[in-house]
Structure 1
């Protein structure tokens, strides 16, 4: 049936019904309509009048002469012709009635029906399609895949031309749902943290929201209490992408008296810059009663180092030796392969120097002996020596630790509990479950030390004395 135009005196139950009726007619005849005004009565705050006009009503803004002003040459515009076509409606009781209608265009109408749908007024999704796209979004289906699925729905052949919207419209709608789901996820996570705070008076969390929901931080009561005893050495890493928003997990990992890793706190950072790290470190100090870690080991990162120097100025900061050597081996490997004596001298210098003076003296001898003063990688390692060479940390407490292996080990375990598709709330709950498992393991070690006596191998008094001072794990190690 061919859609009919509105007529004077025609009544509608709502303005939206009238607009839908007129849009259907306009689409069939090759044009679109826009709502010009939709006024309200001040006293009742209810709509009283409305008008719909052709999409080419009014005229384009003009510059000098008659040339239309266009911000970008490459960007096209719809030329307005001041088309007089319009449909006015007024409220009459509970209905809307057409009071004026004019239907003579001053421009050519679009003759090809498949092109009319690309007019902005005709592009859009049905309520059912919106729900379907929301469902696809919840299952992490990407925009391109969404378009393919929707095209199959609109055409048995899967043609994009059959859809009344563009792929960009699908992308924009998915982005809208993503923003909405992110806000809902954050609100649900905050509610979860509030419940945890009611259960545990020492539970602490902070969230800083900006345009990118940049950082989030929380720590439970057990971790805060443990930190007071085991803040000697901290491993910090922020390399594991843990959730659907790609916010790296930044846990502070400590070591207890059973040589077990402890989760002191967890932070989620949107951008790994100095500002973000400073906020995390200051929040860490706030929740830990102002007690800074005494020694901290991280991977090599300028932003992280700048944040540590500002917030933890008295802490001894050490870089992960494994990462530094691995990067250096890209050039040193082939270089040392042709110079085995130099390689041996390098290892003796780094691994067996007991003092700073001994290391620096051995290094200079090595450089002079093998004439490698101009080697860039060796020069770079020398410049960073105070952050990774063991001799500089002989007087500092880094128990069995020269790398960020504690953090990396924690990340490996964390991957069993969470996946990149997890929301913030899912991650927080899984992190809590992992924390409970770690606390259970710690209780098991405490019981082992309290109930079992380690086997002594000698009759030396010092061995018997240490068996009563150390935990069983440390004594055996």
Structure 2
């Protein structure tokens, strides 16, 4: 059920050994509508070869009725990359930003380069702007012959935000959610745990997570956030629609909308374009296309395509058009309070059948 609702983005990392057999423990995770980590499955690996990674991904796809993720985030292991290309070739693969920053420090040994590299990696800009900035940075720190720098540049479409904009990653840039799960499982698992104990302890850890998630659901169902924005009708609609964390992010975009002003409106045959500037930063401009027939919008910042929530520029268009609610075309089911509603609850008979 979790995978059916939130399996569009898959994260996994091999960094954990916590059993008597000294085997890697791999957790396959995603992010729920509450912006919390949700576990799809786990595996104990005999080794870290392409064949093993391929087997795990194939078993995962089989267990999930063949549903493929849109995007995958990993630490960049070569064998893992090869397995992803083989099993889920059409998904977008992103390399973990935390691991890349760490590798930059290890391979370049220049603190300033590591800082600039991290900033450029996450910079939301056009591809040509990124390429120019990269060339200038490499020249500045005299790294044009550094093997790691040359190799990582060839993989830039797997880590640079400029190349990944518009691809859905649900706000995830690193495998740190897996790292967080590793710390959580430390409470239940240790290297003295035998295999027959391991599964029971893993189930205990999952049960605790389910209880915590149920508490979050209960709080949302039995409380309502205080409305503070001038766009009260829109804020109220969003509060009723989205899970609490996503609503908080959406409200932040409403705050940012105040700084925008319309620079130009152009009426075309089937849609209108709006060009916005920002108060005290008029050189920063954004263009939004608005299609009135089906009330669809597309912004050049591609925040909705990348994250799944409206950007402040699209909210500015909604305000201009006096829209009191968010158009269905601008709502991603996975972020709503009923994020799992499209997934049919399994019956007790189905559960028992699976277990046997």
**How far apart are residue 414 of structure 1 and its match?**
0.7
State the distance in 2 between where 1:404 and 1:346 align: 18
Residue from 249, 274, 290 that aligns with 2:66: 290
Superposed, which structure 2 residues align to 1:64-463 within 5 Å? Answer: 225-333=1-109, 335-337=110-112, 346=117, 348-368=119-139, 372-460=143-231, 461-463=233-235
**How far apart are residue 347 of structure 1 and its match?**
5.1
Q: Which stretch shows the higher mean deviation, 382-391 or 259-268?
A: 382-391
**How far apart are residue 343 of structure 1 and its match?**
6.6
State the distance in 1 between where 2:118 and 2:190 align: 40
| Two-structure CA RMSD over aligned residues (Å) | 2.0
**How far apart are residue 297 of structure 1 and its match?**
0.6
Gaps in structure 1 of 5+ consecutive residues = 1-224
State the distance in 2 between where 1:275 and 1:351 align: 32
State the distance in 1 between where 2:115 and 2:76 align: 25
**How far apart are residue 247 of structure 1 and its match?**
1.9
Q: Which stretch shows the higher mean deviation, 373-382 or 396-405?
A: 373-382
State the distance in 1 between where 2:126 and 2:101 align: 20
State the distance in 1 between where 2:178 and 2:116 align: 31
Gaps in structure 2 of 5+ consecutive residues = 250-356
> Number of aligned pairs?
248
What's the secondary structure of 1:242's corresponding residue? coil
The structure whose RCO (Cα within 8 Å, separation 6+) is larger is: 2
**How far apart are residue 454 of structure 1 and its match?**
1.1
Deviations 1:162-198 (A, max 9, x none): xxxxxxxxxxxxxxxxxxxxxxxxxxxxxxxxxxxxx
Q: Answer yes or no: is 1:472 the counterpart of 2:248.
A: no
Instruction: Give the equivalent residue in structure 1 for 2:277.
Output: none
State the distance in 2 between where 1:377 and 1:272 align: 22
Larger radius of gyration: 1
Query: Do the aligned partners of 1:232 and 1:295 also contact (CA within 8 Å) in 2?
Result: yes
**How far apart are residue 308 of structure 1 and its match?**
0.9
**How far apart are residue 275 of structure 1 and its match?**
0.8
TM-score normalised by L of structure 2: 0.65
Structure 1 residues 408, 428: closer, same or farther in 2, change over 3 A?
A: same
**How far apart are residue 344 of structure 1 and its match?**
6.8
**How far apart are residue 317 of structure 1 and its match?**
1.1
The 4+ residue runs of structure 1 with deviation greater than 6 A are none
Structure 1 residues 458, 404: closer, same or farther in 2, change over 3 A?
A: same
Query: Do the aligned partners of 1:242 and 1:418 also contact (CA within 8 Å) in 2?
Result: yes
Structure 1 residues 349, 238: closer, same or farther in 2, change over 3 A?
A: closer
**How far apart are residue 393 of structure 1 and its match?**
1.9
Query: Do the aligned partners of 1:258 and 1:472 also contact (CA within 8 Å) in 2?
Result: yes
